[in-house]
Structure 1
């Protein structure tokens, strides 16, 4: 039997534990340790995994690796943050799971693909962290061979991402998780503003939600501003004076 298929019961068990823990008042250590658990579960769920991690993106589009199973994950993520492109960031921006079968041959992120080559990352899988339909981060796994992830892999990671989201949302009300709570509140607060700007682009350009988010990101990069600043500018421009 495929090792990835064997991983599904493990992921479901861990998800059940995480869901149960989410009903408690979590301390900062509990949140931190649970994120580490989810990250480790993501790595263990895939036999060819080099490592896994959780990225959180705040109000200023600042990317932070909240949990990483290995230094390699931190390095691969740091390159995405530095170059402002890569599968994890695309999963966040589009709200869709991103599968990369062959990093070297994938043309979607040429700068990142070239920069990450020395790390021997052959494929990756990234699932967005979503709250109320909006993304505020992503969970990702990097693998040591091409085409390491299939449809079952996608289901496993999306399940873990959903449980991570539940835990992070509950962390907002936890005094002991104050720093993490602030980061998440910033991300979720900006979500509404960015959602408004995205709706304006969808209406004006007649494009899909995913395409509208891409347009916003490209405009922010071109203007050398944050995603939030770009959203504020668009919403202000669309608001009649005196309102």
Structure 2
């Protein structure tokens, strides 16, 4: 069973918000970390949906596929993540093929090969709602331990997300910057993960990442992506410097 010792606390997430270069980078990095830390042995896609001013929006996603899976629900104005967001209740789907609650949505995303889903509400201020949405291509991917880990993580996100939403508008990041931001988010997420695992400053984490890049003659983005992938592998451990090539 995968371990989730590296899931950050609310205080650590607030520090990451203050350390991030910008709001979009923070959100994109946050969902990248979410998918990496929560996935464990099972590959997972993560996204955060926020609804305020009468409309839902995916404010961040670990991949483009996760964003599309979220936004398909908006076309129906219904779905697991919107239900979790609007009711404040967790929604778990062990097998999307056999679930009859959102058959239209399931048919619309059939090409994505998603088999199980988990949507957990995130507490926000009055007038808005949010949910952490997790997708897997495996049936029954969200066992009791994983569900507890996702719920605990969603609770830790609440304070930081409320603060972020107060500080910034709900306008999505410009489409033309999406690919650039996602590339930067991978590196920022890796830096944030090093900061949490080693209890070090952002500057120290950046130095460690640059050192790994020089020692292996690989690009920062490649090192960061490998590190985030390996952080969810229980065989790699969660101790200090476990990510070092």
8 A Cα contact 2:10 2:160, kept in partner: no
Tell me if 1:166 matches 2:162: no
Q: CA deviation at 1:153?
A: 1.4
CA deviation map 1:29-48 (0-9, x unaligned): 44433322331222112132
Task: Choose the corresponding residue for 1:91, options 84, 92, 102.
Answer: 84
Map 1:1-243 → 2, pairs under 5 A:
2-3=1-2, 6=3, 8-11=4-7, 13=8, 15-21=10-16, 26=18, 29-44=21-36, 45-46=38-39, 47-60=41-54, 62-131=55-124, 136-174=129-167, 177=168, 179-180=169-170
Task: Tell me, in whole angstroms, the C-alpha distance in 1 between the residues paired with 2:27 and 2:9.
Answer: 11
Unaligned runs of 5+ in 2: 173-245
8 A Cα contact 2:9 2:156, kept in partner: no
8 A Cα contact 2:117 2:134, kept in partner: yes
Task: Tell me, in whole angstroms, the C-alpha distance in 2 between the residues paired with 1:122 and 1:77.
Answer: 15
CA deviation map 1:33-83 (0-9, x unaligned): 3322331222112132341111110121x1111001111111111210001
Q: CA deviation at 1:84?
A: 1.6
Q: CA deviation at 1:143?
A: 0.3
User: In the alignment, what sits opposite 2:216?
Assistant: none
Q: CA deviation at 1:119?
A: 0.4
Task: Tell me, in whole angstroms, the C-alpha distance in 1 between the residues paired with 2:163 and 2:59.
Answer: 16
Q: CA deviation at 1:162?
A: 2.1
Task: Tell me, in whole angstroms, the C-alpha distance in 2 between the residues paired with 1:107 and 1:133.
Answer: 31
Q: CA deviation at 1:16?
A: 4.5
Task: Tell me, in whole angstroms, the C-alpha distance in 1 between the residues paired with 2:19 and 2:6.
Answer: 25
Runs of 4+ in 1 over 6 A off after TM superposition: 132-135
Q: CA deviation at 1:101?
A: 0.4
Task: Tell me, in whole angstroms, the C-alpha distance in 2 between the residues paired with 1:56 and 1:120.
Answer: 25
8 A Cα contact 1:95 1:135, kept in partner: no
Task: Judging by fraction of residues, say which structure has more helix.
Answer: 1
8 A Cα contact 2:20 2:26, kept in partner: no
What is the count of residue pairs matched by the alignment?
170
Q: Which has the larger radius of gyration?
A: 1
CA separation of 1:68 and 1:21: change in aligned 2, threshold 3 A? closer
Unaligned runs of 5+ in 1: 184-243
